[in-house]
């Protein structure tokens, strides 16, 4: 079985750590990597795309770039991640422990927990 890794990324520092981890995992295991940017509709994606490409270059990894916008009243970032993983057949999902809210009083955010609970694949939560 070919290992297919999906790294779900937002604009948080935890997402950057998750992306670096996923890139190293893909390189080390000779796996395919896709990076899913999950953004609110009004977020200018160019800056984050540039950052993701820079990190992938630094890590020496190629990846497919997927961009999904979500409407907060209709979906959550976590549901978008699970939907993409199901639709595209990923068998590993890598997410950051916390998202952009980055609450200090929790060690793992609600999106990471939701993905771990409902994903059709192994989930790695990175701090």
39 forms beta bridges with 69
Quick one: average pLDDT of 117-127?
Answer: 96
pLDDT at residue 21 above 70?
A: yes
Residue pLDDT, tens place only, 60-116: 999 999 999 988 878 889 999 999 999 999 999 999 997 655 456 556 888 999 999
Q: What structural domains and CATH numbers belong to the chain?
A: 4-126 (3.40.50.620)
Residue pLDDT, tens place only, 38-52: 988 888 899 999 999
What does the alpha-carbon distance between residue 27 and residue 50 come to, in Å, rounded to a whole number? 20
Per-residue three-class SS string for the chain: CCCEEEEEECCCHHHHHHHHHHHHHHHHHCCEEEEEEEECCCCCHHHHHHHHHHHHHHHCCCCEEEEEECCCCCCCHHHHHHHHHHHHCCCEEEEECCCCCCCCCCCCCHHHHHHHHHCCCEEEEEC
What does the alpha-carbon distance between residue 111 and residue 81 come to, in Å, rounded to a whole number? 9
Quick one: average pLDDT of 121-127?
Answer: 96
pLDDT at residue 26 above 70?
A: yes
pLDDT at 40: 86
Quick one: average pLDDT of 22-39?
Answer: 97
pLDDT at 106: 57
């Amino acid at each position: 079985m070919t290992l297919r890794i999906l790294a779900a990324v937002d604009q948080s520092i935890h997402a950057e750590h998750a992306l670096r981890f996923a890139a190293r995992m893909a390189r080390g295991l000779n796996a395919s990597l896709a990076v899913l940017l999950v953004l609110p509709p009004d977020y200018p994606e160019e800056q984050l795309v540039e950052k993701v490409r820079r990190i992938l270059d630094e890590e020496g990894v190629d990846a497919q770039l997927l961009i999904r916008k979500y409407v907060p009243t209709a979906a959550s970032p976590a549901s978008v991640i699970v939907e993409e993983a199901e639709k595209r057949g990923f068998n590993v999902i890598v997410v950051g422990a916390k998202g952009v809210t980055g609450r200090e009083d929790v060690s793992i955010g609600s999106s990471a927990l939701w993905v771990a609970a409902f994903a059709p694949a192994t989930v790695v939560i990175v701090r």
